[in-house]
Amino acid sequence: SSHFWLKTNPVPEFHRAAKRAMWARSSTQVIRPLIGAAGLVPVLHFNNKRGVVFNDGPQKQEEVMMFHIGTNNWQRQGEFAPGSGILHASFHQTFNSMPGVKCYSIYPSKMQTDPVPEPDYDPTFKIFKLNHDIPICESVSPNSSYRWHTMSNTEFAAYRKRLEDEVCVFMDEIEKREGKQFDYIISHHAFTNAMTGAQILERRQKEGNKKLRHFNFVHGTALKMYIKEKEGDPEYPMRFLTVSKEHGVFNGRDKCSGIWVNSRDYIDKFMDCFPTYPRSHAVYSQIGVNQKTFCPKDVTIETDLAKHLRDEDKSKLGGVKRVVTFVGKFADWKRLDAVLYAAAEYEKRHPDVATLIVGSGPQAAIEEYEGLAKKLGLKK
């Protein structure tokens, strides 16, 4: 390789709460830190009475209780987590650190076990236990090779029904303990969890919880799956976009009160897939980072960065004073190729700048990007 590649794939840490937060309320809940949770918080506002509660003045705040349905595992008990799992864990911990908010979650895992109750702590999350890898929307993933598209219709329906039932049982337990009903369901990814969230909404509203509302955080991979189905990609035969439309979760706001995305162009892509959903309730949410973690520290490139580099790359540190860093999975939509092409330009004018790549992916992708770095003649 002719540029830096890290031996490990670390994740960012915890983030400050947003100044104008979603669903603000007060709580004395004991918080337990989440191992590997990245701190990422959305700033999201719907100008709608039944959407987000604004917290701008001294008015009395009511308590809020929300439930998140995650798509991927969190990083705990030795299991590596993909970005969406880390983001979900961050939301969970951040909301629970906010006054007046209690957040509960469920996420899938084949490896992990439920947290253990303690005298001063009732667990706030639960594992949706699998006997197979976590299903994925993309064709390849470092975490799983079990694609939704390989499931039969019967298996897909059974997965959704079991998830719906387990979430409802967990919500029943929490509501009995808390003495109040949930205010919000948040589903992660605009696919299985969104349809499940809509089913839970309908079910619990029929049981009497008329205030309950469902929101969806779109993420990226499910949306890309829909787009590839529309484009006729042979690896993505038209199936799940049709299923989602026939279900109706995004046909209007009856089953999903609002969606948010973390990339501005996702709104247009989402609207292309679900044109009847009101654009006014599709929101771009900028994700922040913890500036106490991502800030200058008492370290140097020469003495500290070398500890994390592969042996064959350590000799390239000479004369390096600044570093451009990419962190992410080796997948075409992460645009690592764009970083490498840019490096070929700035290396010519800025010989003290190096390019640091943090991440991994399928062997074919590793060979592709390392080959591109060599082809471009990158030196640092």
> How confident is the model over 129-184, as pLDDT tens digits?
999 999 999 866 667 889 999 999 999 999 999 999 999 999 999 999 999 999 99
Query: Within 13 A of 58's CA, how many CA atoms are on the CB side?
Result: 0
- Whole-angstrom CA distances from 140 to 51, 134, 137, 188, 235 are 36, 12, 9, 20, 11
Q: Express each pLDDT in 46-103 by its tens digit.
A: 333 333 444 455 555 678 999 999 999 999 999 988 888 988 998 999 899 899 999 9
Inform me whether the pLDDT recorded for 24 exceeds 80: no
CA–CA distance, 74 with 92 (Å, rounded to integer): 11
Which of 128, 210, 119 is CA-nearest to residue 161?
A: 128
> Which pLDDT band holds residue 122 (cuts at 50, 70, 90)?
confident
∠ CA 22-26-29, rounded to 5°: 105
The pLDDT of residue 138 is: 81
| Chain centre distance of CA 135 | 15
The pLDDT of residue 142 is: 65
Inform me whether the pLDDT recorded for 39 exceeds 80: no
The pLDDT of residue 106 is: 98
The pLDDT of residue 61 is: 66
Query: Within 13 A of 272's CA, how many CA atoms are on the CB side?
Result: 13
pLDDT > 70 fraction of the chain, expressed in percent and rounded:
83
CA–CA distance, 331 with 202 (Å, rounded to integer): 37
CA–CA distance, 271 with 290 (Å, rounded to integer): 31
CA–CA distance, 370 with 364 (Å, rounded to integer): 10
The pLDDT of residue 102 is: 96
Q: Express each pLDDT in 296-313 by its tens digit.
A: 878 888 778 888 888 888
Look at 203 and 317; give whichever has higher pLDDT. Answer: 203
Query: Within 13 A of 193's CA, how many CA atoms are on the CB side?
Result: 32
Q: Express each pLDDT in 203-236 by its tens digit.
A: 999 999 999 999 999 988 899 999 999 999 999 9
Residues 6+ apart with CB under 8 A from 71: 84, 85, 88, 107, 108, 134, 188, 189, 191, 192, 193, 219
Nearest-10 Cα torsion for 272, 250, 21, 180: -170
The pLDDT of residue 36 is: 40
Average model confidence (pLDDT) across the chain: 84
Neighbours of 254 (CB within 10 A): 12
The pLDDT of residue 34 is: 46
Q: Which amino acid is present at 191?
A: F
Which of 55, 70, 157 is CA-nearest to residue 108?
A: 70
Residues 6+ apart with CB under 8 A from 53: 22, 23, 24, 25, 61, 62, 64
The pLDDT of residue 231 is: 95
> What string of DSSP letters covers 319-338?
T--EEEEEES-S-GGGTHHH
Q: Express each pLDDT in 342-354 by its tens digit.
A: 999 999 999 999 9
Nearest-10 Cα torsion for 88, 94, 99, 101: 10
CA–CA distance, 227 with 329 (Å, rounded to integer): 20
* Straight-line distance from the first to the last Cα atom of the chain, in angstroms, rounded to the nearest whole number: 10
> Which pLDDT band holds residue 40 (cuts at 50, 70, 90)?
very low
pTM for this structure?
0.76
The pLDDT of residue 82 is: 85
Do residues 218 and 270 make contact, with C-beta atoms less than 8 angstroms apart? yes
The pLDDT of 245-251, averaged and rounded, is 97
